[in-house]
Amino acid sequence: MRHTIGQVVEYMIDQGLPFAFHSTYEETVILRQVVNNVWMIQYSPIIDSHAIESNTMLSTK
């Protein structure tokens, strides 16, 4: 996953995106760029596909 996250970070830099995510059938990780005089990427813990019950509703609000 390290190589593909590097690709996502490269896309974030190229497009000037502050947020992104990388998802497979099994795992999802959320990335965000933080700029406070230092450019860095923060990332979420890996979210396993089995971590959420299939009958749970999710909201993007």
pLDDT digits (tens, 9 = 90+) for 12-39: 889 988 899 888 888 888 888 887 767 7
Gap between the Cα atoms of 7 and 17, Å rounded: 13
pTM (2 d.p.):
0.63
Q: Read out DSSP for the chain? A: -HHHHHHHHHHHHHHT-SEEEEE-SSEEEEEEEEESSSEEEEEPPPEETTSS-TT------
